Structure 1
C-alpha cells in the first residue's frame, strides 16, 4: 500500500499534465464513438430526439439489402423501411476514386521526388512550389476554383479551343469525366508524399549506386533494384496514409459535385452520401451506421496492407 502511495505521489504531476488530454480523448473521441455505435441501431432523427426507435440491424440492411434483391423490409420496431438505392453507387464511386487516385498520386510523387533528389539549381525553390498544392488543395476556395476551371465555358476548354479542339464537354457536368477531374485534383496535391519520399531517398547510401554502376547497371535498373526496395517502408507509410485520406474525401466532392453528388451521382462519394443522410435528411441513425461501415472498410484495407507488407517491405536488416 505504501509503495502504491509513493508511486502515485511521484507521478502526480505527470498525471495532471496528462489529464486534459485524457479528458479530451474520452469526451471527444471515445464517448462519441460509443454513442454513434448505439445510434447506428436506431431510427434516429436528431430534430426529433424523442422519436428514436430501436431497429436492430435495420440500417445495415438498408445499405446492403439491394445485393440480395431486397427493396422493402420490416425493421425490429415493426417499421417498414426502404433499402437505400444510392448506397452501392456511393461505394462504387469511392472505390473507383481510391484505387485510381492513390496509385497515380504515389507514382507521380515518387518520380518528382527522384527528380528533386538530383543536384539541380534552385531545387529548394522547386520543392516549396511543389508542396504548395498540398497546403491549399483541400480548401473550399481551391475546390471552387477547380470547378470554374473545368466548367464548359471555363479556362481549360478555352485553352483547348485556342489550339483547335472543338465540341469540348463540360468536364464537371459530364458523368464520364466528372470523377476524373477529382482524381486530377487529388494527384495535383502530391507534395506531402513527395517530401516523405525525398526524405527516404536521402537515406539510401550512394555506395549502392556506385557499386551498381561499376557492375554496369543502367539508371533504370538501379531505380528498380536499389531505389524501390530501399523505399518500401516509405511506400508502405504513404500508401496507408493516402488510402485513408482518399476514403475520407469530402470537401472537393461536395463543392465540385454541387453538394448533391453531381450529374447521375457520378461524384457521390461515400462521405458525401453520409453527410446528406445525416444533415440534410436528418437520418442520423443511418448516417452513424454508414460511418461504422466506413471505419470497418478502412480498417480492413489497412490490416491487409500491413499484413501483406511482410512479403514486399524490406527494412534493410534482413526482415
Structure 2
C-alpha cells in the first residue's frame, strides 16, 4: 500500500521491470548459418561440371596468359632460355622510346576519327535497314555483306583500288583532270585509307543499332506526330536518346577495336611497319618487338600499357555516359 492506499501497477500490456532489464542487456540474436543440403550440394556439383569447360577455357586461355604477360613485362625474355628479372626497366624504356609515342599518336588519330565516323555510318545504315519498304531484306543483306569480308582480303582490295598507276581511284581522278596520287605512300594518306577501310565493317554495329531501333515503342512516335513533330525532331528527341545504351555499347567496342588495329596496317606496309610510312600503329610496334626483335619482355610491357590505356578510356566513357545515356522511356 502506498501513501494514497493504492498499489502501483504497470500499464496494461507492458513487460515487468525485470524482463525489460533482461531484454535491454540481451545480445542480438545470432543469424543462423545456411547449410547446403545434400541435394543442394549435388546440384552445385552438377552445375560446376556443366560449366567446367568454360571455366577451364577462361583459366587456360585468359587468366594464365594475362598473368604470365604481366610477369614477363618485368623481365628480359627473347623466347629462349629463362626470363631475366629487370623490374620496371621495360616500362622506363617504353616511356622513353620515341617510337612508342609515334605509334600511340597514330593509334589515337585513328581512334578519334574512325570510331565517331563508324558510329555515324552504322547508325545511317541501321536507319536505312529499318525502313518499312518491300525490298528491305535485300537492303539489309547488301549493307551487311561488306562486313563479312575478312580484313586481310579487304586490305588487298584497297591496295589494288588505290594503286597509283592503274588503281580505280586514280582513274576517276584522271577523268576530272587530276594527276595520280599515292595515298598509301603518304603518311597521312595511308591513315585515311585505313580509316575508310574500317568503315566497310560497320555492318556489325548497324545490326546492333537496328535491334535498338526495333525496340523503340511505336506509340512514342505516334504521340510525337500528333504533337506536330517532324522526322528530324523525332530523331533528335526520341530515336537518338532512346538509342544511347546501344550507342554506348558500340562506342566501347569501337574504341577497343581501334586500339588494336593491326591487320590493315600490316598488309598495307607489307609487314615492315616503317615509322615513316604513317601506318605504325601501337599493335604493329608491339608485334615487331615481340616477333621481329625477339623482345617478348618489352612487348609484354607494351601490352600491359595498352590494357591500362584501354581500361582508362572505358572507365572515362562509362563515367561520362551517366550524362547522356537514357535507359527509361519517359513521357514528357
When normalised by structure 1's length, the TM-score is 0.87
Matched residue, 2:73: 40
Matched residue, 1:73: none
Q: Would you say the 8 A contact 2:76–2:85 is kept in 1?
A: yes
Q: Would you say the 8 A contact 1:201–1:231 is kept in 2?
A: yes
**Distance in 1, Cα, partners of 2:121 & 2:140:** 14
Aligned residues: 296
**Distance in 1, Cα, partners of 2:116 & 2:193:** 16
1:126 correspondence with 2:133 = no
**Distance in 2, Cα, partners of 1:25 & 1:223:** 42
**Distance in 1, Cα, partners of 2:36 & 2:225:** 64
Residue segments in structure 2 that go unaligned for 5+ positions in a row: 1-33
Distance 1:262 1:222, change over 3 A: farther
**Distance in 1, Cα, partners of 2:122 & 2:43:** 49
Deviation of 1:118 after TM superposition, in Å, equals 1.6
Deviation of 1:246 after TM superposition, in Å, equals 1.3
Matched residue, 2:161: 149
Report SS of the residue matched to 1:204: coil
Deviation track 1:249-278 (CA, whole Å, cap 9, x = no partner) reads 111111012212256140111111100000
Matching of residues 1-319 of structure 1 within 5 Å: 3=36, 6-46=39-79, 48-50=80-82, 52-65=83-96, 84-138=97-151, 140-153=152-165, 154-161=167-174, 163-262=175-274, 264-316=276-328
**Distance in 2, Cα, partners of 1:96 & 1:212:** 40
| 6-15 vs 97-106, greater mean Cα deviation | 6-15
Q: Would you say the 8 A contact 1:108–1:190 is kept in 2?
A: yes
Deviation track 1:42-99 (CA, whole Å, cap 9, x = no partner) reads 11111x323x32111111111112xxxxxxxxxxxxxxxxxx2311000000000011
**Distance in 1, Cα, partners of 2:51 & 2:265:** 38
Q: Would you say the 8 A contact 1:173–1:262 is kept in 2?
A: no
| 238-247 vs 7-16, greater mean Cα deviation | 7-16
Deviation of 1:38 after TM superposition, in Å, equals 0.7
Q: Would you say the 8 A contact 2:245–2:325 is kept in 1?
A: yes
Report SS of the residue matched to 1:165: coil
Deviation of 1:5 after TM superposition, in Å, equals 5.5
Deviation track 1:163-197 (CA, whole Å, cap 9, x = no partner) reads 22322211111113110000001112110111111
**Distance in 1, Cα, partners of 2:222 & 2:43:** 55
Runs of 4+ in 1 over 4 A off after TM superposition: 1-6
Matched residue, 1:74: none
| 36-45 vs 14-23, greater mean Cα deviation | 14-23
| 4-13 vs 229-238, greater mean Cα deviation | 4-13
